Amino acid sequence: MSSGEYERYVAMAATAAGAAMVINGLMNELLPYELRDALTLSTADVVRRLRARLSPTHTVVIDEAEGLAPNQLFDAARAYLASLTGTASAARRLRASRVNEAQGILVTMDHGEETVDVHDGVTYTWRLVSRNVAGNSGSFPSHGSGAGHNGRRGPHGGCHRSFELSFHKKHKEQALASYLPFVVDAAKAIRDRHRDLKMHMIEYDAWTPVDLRHPSTFDTIAMDGDLKRSVMDDLERFVRRKDYYRRTGRAWKRGYLLYGPPGTGKSSLVAAMANYLKFDIYDLELTEVKSNSDLRRLLVGMSNRSILVVEDIDCSIDLPQRGDQGGERRGRHSFTGGEDNEDKVTLSGLLNFVDGLWSTSGEERIIVFTTNYKERLDPALLRPGRMDMHVHMGYCTSESFRILARNYHFVEDDHTMYLEIEKLMEEVPITPAEVAEVLMRNDGADAALSDLVGFLEAKRGEVGANKGVKHHGNNKVDKYEQTMVLYCTPEYFRGVSRDYQSLKDRAMIPEVEQLLSEVPTTIEEVTDVVGRNNGGADAAIRDLIGFLKAKRGDAGENNGANQDGNHNGDNK
């Protein structure tokens, strides 16, 4: 549409509306490029631009060259109007709207239909206008997402649609300064509610998004109720406080340290946070980052309203050990050197970026570190003010168990087996992951809870009698043992070591036994380390010794403990 046509259009609409002003609009080709990204602009920007466009003379200059790019303000209005379908006035006009997973909200509204919205005592009338490109007004495509949707011109012609928003001229200020920003904000909120969250992972040195469909929410997560509430409160306060951060000159970011044994829900909590806030997750796998400059590039490439997660921070970056004589703990990853390459990724480099560049180049950002071993973390990370909140995820308590039982089997709070289960849980530490696993493999609540009792009893017996030895070689592993942590005792290893017929250096066997007596290590870990070696028995056992020494915390051991269930070693 040329600017002349547009002016004629505005004049017609203004006439029709009598004293009412018409903010027309919002058609893809009518609104200029500044408004196309209305949903990504700040609300103040939108208002400023609208105000500039809607001068008292109602002249809007539209550059032909702006083309027919999608106009997000149109989508904002559409999403907002769809959300009104529950209200009486809107229901009069909008026949139906539905939520489509891929596209968010679709609204069905016919050409010429109007809907009335009352906001702060002012009545606003929205009208949908459609034109086909050949000018045959009145011939319209099907509703919603049909041909011509979004007003784009298809190969065989198409339909341009617009919303006209009219109101009394005395409410111009209110419309511009209050109502339209409200519509844009409401649309943003709707979009956030329906958009697919993304999980960004590093591939080939760049972020690669995949859909984040993690079902974890604050309802499903099993943790102490007060702690859960305080995390939620903290998140809510954080997102509310834009002005506060601006006023105080602080970067709008927040840091959480989640710590606790494996399977207690640290990753689930991160997903719950993302689902709650509708923030994307950026999974910073430090082993994939070759240098500080790569790290900087990746951090700057993150979007706002996102969560940066560094899992198993104690394993994934070289942390100076408390008590180290100036030396760094080696062996986590090949990039951990430091003194020979200035550009290597270091914890201080990461923290500096997070505090500096990262926080000034974006807004509404959350960083989460997780660890199974808080005691191993660098004091720099634990310093007050560094991570705003330390969240301990622990073994199942009766409170968290009840949440899981309710979630998995709708079990009410007074089930007869609860007392027995909770008593057992006091004797045997069990992670929420283990409980979830048992609950999940049963169809009915009663069966699930009996199974859990059996599991706990078996675990209690196992822990007491160290049945790991018995477990090995038993082809009929029962269902409890499948998920249990089975330790590799020195005795057990001695038995297995007979299998190493080709072992030349037999002196290594007592060394392994000695290490196993010092470091609780699961059969699975031992199997993994031995299994990853193709270089013969000696290489495998040497690798195992290195692994065990690293687990014990020996400096200088380089055995890839990070890759192989290092985090499983905390099952004491």
Ligand X SMILES: Nc1ncnc2c1ncn2[C@@H]1O[C@H](COP(=O)(O)OP(=O)(O)OP(=O)(O)O)[C@@H](O)[C@H]1O
Binding-site ranges for ligand X (CB under 6 A): 220-223, 262-268, 372, 393, 432-433, 436, 567
Q: Taking a C-beta distance cutoff of 8 angstroms, is the pair 276, 305 a contact?
A: no
Q: Which residues pair with 550 in a beta bridge?
A: none
Q: Taking a C-beta distance cutoff of 8 angstroms, is the pair 270, 257 a contact?
A: no
- In the complex, what is the shortest distance from the CB of residue 269 to ligand X, in angstroms, rounded to a whole number? 7
Considering the complex, state which of residue 255 and residue 262 has its C-beta at the smaller distance from ligand X: 262
Q: Taking a C-beta distance cutoff of 8 angstroms, is the pair 564, 522 a contact?
A: no
Q: Taking a C-beta distance cutoff of 8 angstroms, is the pair 462, 486 a contact?
A: yes
- CB within 8 Å of 183: residues ≥ 6 apart: 76, 77, 80
Considering the complex, state which of residue 45 and residue 399 has its C-beta at the smaller distance from ligand X: 399
Considering the complex, state which of residue 37 and residue 224 has its C-beta at the smaller distance from ligand X: 224
Q: Taking a C-beta distance cutoff of 8 angstroms, is the pair 490, 516 a contact?
A: yes
> Helix, strand, or coil here: 235?
helix
- In the complex, what is the shortest distance from the CB of residue 265 to ligand X, in angstroms, rounded to a whole number? 3
Distances (CA, A) of 282 to 274, 309, 314: 10, 6, 18
Q: How many angstroms separate the CA atoms of 39 and 164, rounded?
A: 19
Considering the complex, state which of residue 262 and residue 349 has its C-beta at the smaller distance from ligand X: 262
- In the complex, what is the shortest distance from the CB of residue 356 to ligand X, in angstroms, rounded to a whole number? 29
Considering the complex, state which of residue 66 and residue 437 has its C-beta at the smaller distance from ligand X: 437
Q: Which two tokens stand for residue 362?
A: 């974006």
- In the complex, what is the shortest distance from the CB of residue 560 to ligand X, in angstroms, rounded to a whole number? 17
| Beta-carbon count within 10 A of 91 CB | 13
- In the complex, what is the shortest distance from the CB of residue 161 to ligand X, in angstroms, rounded to a whole number? 44
* 104-108 and 96-100 beta bridge pairing: antiparallel
Q: Taking a C-beta distance cutoff of 8 angstroms, is the pair 143, 110 a contact?
A: yes
Q: Which two tokens stand for residue 383?
A: 């310093």
Q: What secondary structure does DSSP assign to 416-430, as a single string?
A: TTHHHHHHHHHHS--
Considering the complex, state which of residue 54 and residue 315 has its C-beta at the smaller distance from ligand X: 315
- In the complex, what is the shortest distance from the CB of residue 431 to ligand X, in angstroms, rounded to a whole number? 6
- CB within 8 Å of 525: residues ≥ 6 apart: 488, 547, 564, 565, 568, 569
- In the complex, what is the shortest distance from the CB of residue 433 to ligand X, in angstroms, rounded to a whole number? 3
Considering the complex, state which of residue 220 and residue 522 has its C-beta at the smaller distance from ligand X: 220
Q: What is the number of the residue whose Cβ is closest to ligand X?
A: 265
- In the complex, what is the shortest distance from the CB of residue 221 to ligand X, in angstroms, rounded to a whole number? 4
Considering the complex, state which of residue 161 and residue 228 has its C-beta at the smaller distance from ligand X: 228
Q: How many angstroms separate the CA atoms of 201 and 211, rounded?
A: 11
Looking at this protein, which amino acid is placed at residue 118? V
Considering the complex, state which of residue 64 and residue 211 has its C-beta at the smaller distance from ligand X: 211
- In the complex, what is the shortest distance from the CB of residue 365 to ligand X, in angstroms, rounded to a whole number? 21
Considering the complex, state which of residue 199 and residue 433 has its C-beta at the smaller distance from ligand X: 433
Q: How many angstroms separate the CA atoms of 380 and 369, rounded?
A: 13
| Closest to 341 in 3D by CA, of 292, 287, 298 | 292
- The alpha helices in 17-135, defined as continuous H runs, are 33-36, 43-53, 72-83, 88-93
Helices (H) and strands (E) in the chain, counts: 25, 14
- In the complex, what is the shortest distance from the CB of residue 394 to ligand X, in angstroms, rounded to a whole number? 9
Q: How many angstroms separate the CA atoms of 223 and 414, rounded?
A: 19
Considering the complex, state which of residue 261 and residue 546 has its C-beta at the smaller distance from ligand X: 261
Q: Taking a C-beta distance cutoff of 8 angstroms, is the pair 35, 49 a contact?
A: yes
Q: Which two tokens stand for residue 410?
A: 């709708």
- In the complex, what is the shortest distance from the CB of residue 470 to ligand X, in angstroms, rounded to a whole number? 26
- In the complex, what is the shortest distance from the CB of residue 384 to ligand X, in angstroms, rounded to a whole number? 24
What angle do helix axes 508-518 and 537-552 make, rounded to 10 degrees?
30
Q: Taking a C-beta distance cutoff of 8 angstroms, is the pair 505, 538 a contact?
A: yes
Burial class of 368 by CB neighbour count within 10 A (0 to 12, 13 to 18, 19+): buried
Q: How many angstroms separate the CA atoms of 503 and 489, rounded?
A: 20
- In the complex, what is the shortest distance from the CB of residue 400 to ligand X, in angstroms, rounded to a whole number? 6
Considering the complex, state which of residue 211 and residue 339 has its C-beta at the smaller distance from ligand X: 211
Considering the complex, state which of residue 126 and residue 256 has its C-beta at the smaller distance from ligand X: 256
- In the complex, what is the shortest distance from the CB of residue 119 to ligand X, in angstroms, rounded to a whole number? 41
- CB within 8 Å of 168: residues ≥ 6 apart: 19, 20, 21, 122, 123
Considering the complex, state which of residue 150 and residue 571 has its C-beta at the smaller distance from ligand X: 571
